[in-house]
């Protein structure tokens, strides 16, 4: 049975990804900053909760040790700030911590096992708002952080062997606390491409950016 760690998994897209992987027979570890919310969500899905604050390097190190070897990592946790990019230094720092530095550290801790066993899948939940092709259109620091996550995806895929596949994906506009009630997609629709990338076979792509299981421009 393959083991997967999903960050930001207690609600929204992360919860839908966790449920989808459980349904496919994975042992799923659900990372959540709020331990109570994490436990409730994990009990609902049939997974295991891990306390994980992706903005805190010590929390990441502790969670990685607690998780042990994993075959699949889904870097899903994210935050959405507001205001002027150059005015809010804290939002910039927080966005980079959650959506760039956190995923980097999780890959640092967890990919050595994947390399050693010649199998691994890393999925970075990004956004079209971080695409240069769309003008890095996200509000505040969000788009900049997602663009950096995309760059990290491409560089990591080049660094790791092809047996450890690293890809980014855009879930689209999803009805979550971040996306709002007016969004056009259900969390399960947003999660589909992430689940597909998490379960790629040997011939699957690496170093790509996808939406609806199709490549999109960086």
- Which residues are marked as active site? 142
Residue 126 near residue 150, CB atoms below 8 Å: yes
Residue the block writes with tokens 């891990």: 50
Distance in angstroms (rounded) separating the CA atoms of residues 63 and 177: 25
Distances (CA, A) of 69 to 38, 171, 187, 202, 211: 20, 27, 28, 20, 28
Exposure on the CB side of residue 89, measured as CA atoms within 13 A: 0
Distance in angstroms (rounded) separating the CA atoms of residues 155 and 184: 32
The two tokens of residue 146 are 């997602």
């Amino acid at each position: 049975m393959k083991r997967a760690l999903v960050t930001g998994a207690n609600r929204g897209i992360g919860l839908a990804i966790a449920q989808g992987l459980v349904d496919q027979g994975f042992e799923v570890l659900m990372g959540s900053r709020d331990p109570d919310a994490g436990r409730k969500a994990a009990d609902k899905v049939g997974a295991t909760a891990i306390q994980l604050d992706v903005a805190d390097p010590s929390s990441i190190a502790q969670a990685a040790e607690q998780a042990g070897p994993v075959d699949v990592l889904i870097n899903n946790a994210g935050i959405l700030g507001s205001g002027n990019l150059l005015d809010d230094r804290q939002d910039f720092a927080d966005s980079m911590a959650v959506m760039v530095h956190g995923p980097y550290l999780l890959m640092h801790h967890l990919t050595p096992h994947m390399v050693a066993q010649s199998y691994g899948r890393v999925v970075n939940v990004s956004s079209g708002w971080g695409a240069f092709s769309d003008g890095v259109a996200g509000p505040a620091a969000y788009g900049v952080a997602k663009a950096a996550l995309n760059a990290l995806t491409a560089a990591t895929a080049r660094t790791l062997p092809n047996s450890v596949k690293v890809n980014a994906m855009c879930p689209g506009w999803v009805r979550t606390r971040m996306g709002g009630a007016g969004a056009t997609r259900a969390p399960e629709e947003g999660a589909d491409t992430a689940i597909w990338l998490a379960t790629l076979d040997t011939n699957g792509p690496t170093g790509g950016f996808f939406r609806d299981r199709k490549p999109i421009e960086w």
